[in-house]
Amino acid sequence: MIYRTEGLTGFFKGLPPLWTRQIPYTMMKFTCFEKTVELLYQYVVPKPRAQCSKAEQLAVTFTAGYIAGVFCAVVSHPPDVLVSKLNQDANASVGSLVKKLGFAGLWGGLGPRIIMVGTLTALQWFIYDSFKVAMNLPRPPPPQMPESLKKKLAAPGTTEVPPAPVAAPIKEAKEKKPEKSAKGEKKQEKKEKKAKKSDDSA
């Protein structure tokens, strides 16, 4: 039917908007999920992942999967609307549909799609992680910043205070003070002795 009405190109008419839907969708699905898991264990879960039970880890997986699904729905919704409209109207094109729908029309139905895609994405990650838990497959820890990058970021903030070179002269000055006082005492003793001799001679 498509070949009779639209020819061979009819099979590929929705390919560009399909790419613009699936590529951001897939990128967001994995990137946002991994980052969300890392942030949940860092700021929300009150203990490290190694100390969490399997049920707690799966709860984190479901939550991160749902959040990732919300972002997936947002970034892929306008192309999804275009793909749906192209399938409904054989004579329509991407440009004509964008002009007809406008900016607001491209975002129509976003709320129900967030619920649908969020739930599906959360279930996908939950089933995937549950299978790994049931089969005792290794689960990599949440990604962390490499140590080399931590050192590079910490290097500009570190300030080394050089030792003060005035410590030695101060000690020397303190040591010299008793010598001066001893000399003064000797001079006073000599003066007193001279004064006594003069008194005796008198």
CATH topology of domain 2-145: Mitochondrial carrier fold (1.50.40)
**What per-residue confidence (pLDDT) applies to 83?**
83
Residue 51 DSSP one-character state: G
Tally Cβ neighbours within 10 Å of residue 106: 17
Residue-wise pLDDT for 47-100, tens only, equals: 888 888 889 999 999 999 999 999 999 999 998 888 888 777 777 777 888 888
Q: 10-residue block means of pLDDT along the chain (202 residues)?
A: 67 76 91 91 87 90 95 92 81 82 90 94 94 78 66 66 49 49 66 67 54
From residue 156, how far is each of 22, 145, 151 by CA, in Å?
Answer: 41, 17, 9
**What per-residue confidence (pLDDT) applies to 1?**
64
**What per-residue confidence (pLDDT) applies to 189?**
75
> DSSP string spanning 9-29?
GGGGTTHHHHHHHHHHHHHHH
Residue 40 DSSP one-character state: I
**What per-residue confidence (pLDDT) applies to 195?**
67
**What per-residue confidence (pLDDT) applies to 201?**
57
For the chain, report the end-to-end CA distance as a whole number of angstroms: 149
